[in-house]
Amino acid sequence: NKMNIAVIPGDGIGKEVVPEGIRVLNAAAVKYGLDFNFDTFDFASCDYYQKHGQMMPDDWKDQIGGHDAIFFGAVGWPDTVPDHVSLWGSLLQFRREFDQYVSLRPAKLMPGVTSPLAGRGPGDIDMMIVRENTEGEYSSIGGRMYPGTDREIVMQETVMSRVGVDRILRYAFDLARKRGGKLTSATKSNGISITMPYWDERVLEMQKSYPDVTVDKYHIDILAAMFVLHPDRFDVVVGSNLFGDILSDLGPACTGTIGIAPSGNINPEHKFPSLFEPVHGSAPDIAGKGIANPIGQIWSGAMMLEHLGHPEAAQGIMAAIETVLTDPALRTGDLGGTADTVTCGKAIAAAV
Amino acid sequence: NKMNIAVIPGDGIGKEVVPEGIRVLNAAAVKYGLDFNFDTFDFASCDYYQKHGQMMPDDWKDQIGGHDAIFFGAVGWPDTVPDHVSLWGSLLQFRREFDQYVSLRPAKLMPGVTSPLAGRGPGDIDMMIVRENTEGEYSSIGGRMYPGTDREIVMQETVMSRVGVDRILRYAFDLARKRGGKLTSATKSNGISITMPYWDERVLEMQKSYPDVTVDKYHIDILAAMFVLHPDRFDVVVGSNLFGDILSDLGPACTGTIGIAPSGNINPEHKFPSLFEPVHGSAPDIAGKGIANPIGQIWSGAMMLEHLGHPEAAQGIMAAIETVLTDPALRTGDLGGTADTVTCGKAIAAAV
Ligand SMILES: CC(C)[C@H](C(=O)O)[C@@H](O)C(=O)O
Ligand SMILES: CC(C)[C@H](C(=O)O)[C@@H](O)C(=O)O
């Protein structure tokens, strides 16, 4: 049965790496007998905003809501559209409206990639960051009082719901159970004294249903420090929207580059399409040069296949990525290689 | 003229490292002709809580408000008192009630300390984290609705005021000007869409008065990654209460250990006493063993002297710390040395 994929390249290097992701997916289709239909959309980009004064058409949900998944590049071009406008007008809408409440982000030290941490090699770091993706610190509730005066105050609400906290914890506990039974919860209940103690309370409650999972709790400040000092201690790490955001850049940084890190914005119930995108952004500084590393996008494609029920094809792509990473002539410049975006993408497609 | 210091050892290893801090301050007094009066208080500790049902006596402000500074160990003993109770009942009260709106935290790679980052040696990392210390994400405003039901929601307000944001930015800009003209602002305005764009706006405004300071702006997720990948790019880094908290554990982690990192909670106007404490906590796991590293406490003493107008004595202590750090027989076990807390403290006092 055909997989209908909505393709959204977005901005900057998104437009350069998405085609390579598709190239590799097509190679996997041949190899593993899959059937894709790709529909490409020009919205959720700052170019679209400049033409239409908004990031997406009014009927965007109708246009992509029926697809099986969304294959997304990157969005944001701060020179023309402020980040909070472009992001809240696109990516953050998808996450919320399609109830993609799990953001899943592996941080794995791969062959051919040098960790900035002394003495760490492939296999030493292998974590899964599970991030709450629809509520928490990313609320749209708040505002400004006495604007423009010395008395000006600005407030923004962090909102956690039992439904929202419990479902992300359940996902994380299930994943920890599958991966060997170790879960770390990021908190800050000593300082953020209302929402974070609640988070801890729900972790304790959920733990009762998972006696086989060991749970560690770290405050986010010391947890960030621990990622650098002892990354090998972590396996599945669960955090709120903001803490998950920070850890899922920091984790990949410890594995050498955020240029290859993938992510899934997942609606586990398959009620809405899930969205797969690299962790990196649109990278205005290198956009247009054809040198961006396409591996974050390609790895995201593998996660998409996993989600759509094709784990074997996903593993095939992962194996191809590992092969290509060990060859400097096929790696991009950010990894000390000499290949451009297309060369690297073609090599991975060929290896599949 | 005599300096009146309120000494609060607090909990756990606080009680072990504070005496070493005082030992070194007394040595500096002899050498530099300073005159200290130390008053020790048993409150702001979980022992006090167990006896009195609260962390501090009702008249705590009268008891210590007239001192020139507070020399603080660490507070927290989660086995007997939940962290948010012990912290909000003591340390966070000091910061607020004494309007210690600057938290100043150096992250410097010192001789004798090995960085977890590959290829970084002494001199390569030398930052000052300037953290807003009285408002922001650490508010006490919020609550819980529909408690105990599936509809439960919990909210907490982040509050930023123009006064609060501007004064911390001014401090950071002034410090950047003194240290060579480079400032990094931590933000997350692409995701936290109300308070963080306000922060950015005030940075832009303040920048107009400091044409000689170069300002970089990074979202906290990528900034955390950059601390690991390119710590040499940063000098003065300013952030909100939460972001400053995270960066000031992550920065010291990149310099090898948070065990030696100091901090000042400063009221720059000297209207209230400022408080000096190590970044590390009460460390229940090693408390009572006499092996805690006293250098965070001792370095905090040097910051206190700097604040009280004795920069020469402060530098004397720093030089003594550097000397002792290079000798494994005088370093504590966390730094691969063989000394216990007292041996290390005595060595630094002698070196002064
Ligand atoms: C103990 C805790 C409340 C405190 C904070 O978050 O401010 C600590 O982490 C610190 O950095 O001083
Ligand atoms: C671009 C930004 C709003 C986004 C986030 O914070 O969620 C990004 O950092 C991410 O992690 O996907």
Please name which ligand lies nearest the alpha carbon of B14: 1
- CA distance, residue B324 to nearest chain A CA (Å): 23
Dist. CA A189–CA A243, nearest whole Å: 13
Please name which ligand lies nearest the alpha carbon of A72: 2
**Residue B225: which of A154, A190, A253 has the nearest Cβ?**
A253
Residue A51 has φ and ψ, to the nearest 5°, of -80, -35
Among B74, B78, B17, B73, residue whose Cα is nearest residue B292: B17
- Please report the number of interchain residue pairs, chain A to chain B, with beta-carbon separation below 8 angstroms: 206
Find out whether the beta carbon of A191 lies less than 6 Å from any atom of ligand 1. yes
Find out whether the beta carbon of A245 lies less than 6 Å from any atom of ligand 2. yes
Among A220, A119, A334, A123, residue whose Cα is nearest residue B117: A119
**Residue segments in chain A with a per-residue pLDDT below the cut of 70:** none
Chain A residue numbers touching B261 (CB-CB < 8 A): none
Q: What is the pLDDT of residue B346?
A: 98
B188 alpha carbon – ligand 1 mean position (Å): 20
Alpha helices in chain B (DSSP H): 14-32, 46-52, 60-64, 83-88, 91-97, 162-178, 195-207, 220-229, 241-254, 295-307, 311-325, 341-351
Q: Where in chain B is the domain with CATH 3.40.718.10?
A: 1-101+262-352, 126-254
Pairing of the two strands B69-74 and B274-278: parallel
Cβ distance A151 to B158 less than 8 Å, yes or no, reads no
Q: Above pLDDT 70, what percent of chain A?
A: 100
Domain A126-254 has CATH 3.40.1190.20: no
CATH number for the domain formed by residue range(s) B1-101+262-352 = 3.40.718.10
Cβ distance B76 to A190 less than 8 Å, yes or no, reads yes
Chain A residue numbers touching B224 (CB-CB < 8 A): 224, 246, 249-250, 253
Q: What is the number of other CB atoms lying within 10 angstroms of the CB of residue B52?
A: 11
Chain B residue numbers touching A158 (CB-CB < 8 A): 137, 142, 155-158
Dist. CA B242–CA B235, nearest whole Å: 19
Among A84, A87, A127, residue whose Cα is nearest residue A107: A127
Dist. CA A247–CA A220, nearest whole Å: 9
Cβ distance B225 to A249 less than 8 Å, yes or no, reads yes
Put simply, whether the predicted model's pTM sits higher than 0.85 gets the answer yes
Q: Where in chain A is the domain with CATH 3.40.718.10?
A: 1-102+273-352, 126-254
Residue A296 has φ and ψ, to the nearest 5°, of -60, -40
Cβ distance B157 to A156 less than 8 Å, yes or no, reads yes
Q: Which CATH superfamily is domain A1-102+273-352 in?
A: Isopropylmalate Dehydrogenase (3.40.718.10)
Question: Which residue from B55, B91, B102, B258 has its CB within 8 A of the most atoms of ligand 1, so it is best to mutate?
Answer: B91
Q: What is the pLDDT of residue B257?
A: 83
Cβ distance A229 to B92 less than 8 Å, yes or no, reads no
Among B253, B140, B79, B191, residue whose Cα is nearest residue A220: B253
CB-based contact, A192 to chain B, within 8 Å = yes
Residue B246: closest CA among chain A residues belongs to which residue? A221
Please name which ligand lies nearest the alpha carbon of A138: 2
Dist. CA B352–CA B348, nearest whole Å: 6
- CA distance, residue B134 to nearest chain A CA (Å): 11
- Express each pLDDT in A78-133 by its tens digit: 999 998 899 999 999 999 999 999 999 999 999 999 999 999 999 899 999 999 99
Residue A222: closest CA among chain B residues belongs to which residue? B249
A192 alpha carbon – ligand 1 mean position (Å): 10
B228 alpha carbon – ligand 2 mean position (Å): 19
C-alpha Rg value of chain A to the nearest Å: 20
**Residue A117: which of B117, B157, B162 has the nearest Cβ?**
B117
Which amino acid residue places its CA nearest to atom 12 of ligand 2?
A279
Residue A83: closest CA among chain B residues belongs to which residue? B190
Place of tokens 């290097």: A13
- CA distance, residue A196 to nearest chain B CA (Å): 9
Active-site residue list of B: 146, 188, 221, 245, 249
Q: For chain B of 352 residues, list the mean pLDDT of each consecutive stretch of 10.
A: 96 98 98 98 97 97 98 96 92 96 97 94 95 96 96 98 98 97 96 96 98 97 97 97 97 92 97 97 95 98 98 98 96 95 98 97
Q: What is the number of other CB atoms lying within 10 angstroms of the CB of residue A209?
A: 10
Find out whether the beta carbon of A225 lies less than 6 Å from any atom of ligand 1. no
B268 alpha carbon – ligand 1 mean position (Å): 20
- CA distance, residue B304 to nearest chain A CA (Å): 24
